[in-house]
Amino acid sequence: MGNGKTDFTKAAVLNGTAAFYVKLRAMQKARTLFFTAPKKIEIRETTLPPLKEDEVLVETICSAISAGTEMLVYRGQFPHLADSHDAVSSDLNYPLAYGYSCVGVVRETGTQVDKAWRNKFIFAFQPHTSHFIIHHSFLILLPEGLSPENACFLPNMETAVNLVQDGAPILGERVLVLGQGVIGLLTASLLSEFPLESLVTVDRFELRRKALQIGGQRSKVKSLLLQDLRPSTFDLVFELSGSPSALNNAISLASFSGRVVIGSWYGQKRAEIDLGGTFHRSRIKLISSQVSSISPELSGRWDKARRFEVTWEALKRIQPEKWITHRFSLEDADKAYRLLDESPQETIQVVFEY
């Protein structure tokens, strides 16, 4: 028989994660990003609670920053919603840990959780943090072969799927996407798979206008500037720029009986909307689209599980990790948010690596 030290060494060799488990049990700490005031963040070391029997411990690999909703939180432009039909965005107040796109590895499991979960790659709607404890039912298992970086795009791709479903493009339609941030790029990528007469995208930043072509596909997508477009041209317009003033542009570019899908969340930002002029007599339909619910027209046949299946397949086809322009450690989070706030023209997707 060997001594205890030798036995443990052999066990660590046989199981490369054994040493990690021992160290983590001793530390029981996590580094978590908190928004404390407009344009103020802190990385706080938080104590992990004891693992309950139906919970798991996850070590984060990467998490994606939302350049839309999350930047409203960073800038202090979010409304205080008691209930947004979305657990992530309801009742927001400083200080808060915010974020919803974490990919990690299950490191420990509670006594009632199948040990097969250990070392599995998972997605969770979780704020930016190095480790977290979560009920096992909230885990989403990554499909075989999908990289953690691609999986970080899951919430935005689900949003893009929802947008396309709400817009319901028809064979031969002329379609416009205003805004080529991540959600705009994903939406345009999905729309390019439809037999449309034309698909046009608009963004003021050159990097984003070229992003679909840089990806080596979507050759039938035309990327133009706003001034290149003629009014009353498009059957279906997606407003995804995040700018309230762009809604007037969307309305003016929609054709008679056209549809405008509003996917942007403006937060506390306000702008005058022109519902005079041609809007009223043109029978233009404004459609509010938000991913936390499924359109009533589809809810009899669709649920979140079915939509996730479609989303995973879309991620496999489109491989959006090519649009990651910047990677930061959590300790450099302040630099990441300042970059997005001050130089958005240099970015598409920014991620934290742990």
User: Domain ranges in the chain?
Assistant: 14-142+321-353, 155-300
In CATH, the architecture of 155-300 is 3-Layer(aba) Sandwich (3.40)
Rounded Cα–Cα distance for residues 166 and 287 (Å)? 8
Q: Is 180 helix (H, G, I), strand (E, B) or coil?
A: coil
Residues with pLDDT less than 50, the chain: 1-14, 18-19, 22, 24, 26, 81-90
CATH number of the domain located at residue range(s) 14-142+321-353 in this protein = 3.90.180.10
Give me the pLDDT at residue 137, please: 97
Given a contact cutoff of 8 angstroms between Cβ atoms, the answer to whether 118 and 57 are in contact is no
Give me the pLDDT at residue 87, please: 45
Give me the pLDDT at residue 80, please: 57
Give me the pLDDT at residue 56, please: 98
pLDDT tens digits, 237-254:
999 999 999 999 999 999
Cα–Cα distance list, 269 to 35, 72, 147, 266, 316 (Å) = 19, 9, 36, 5, 35
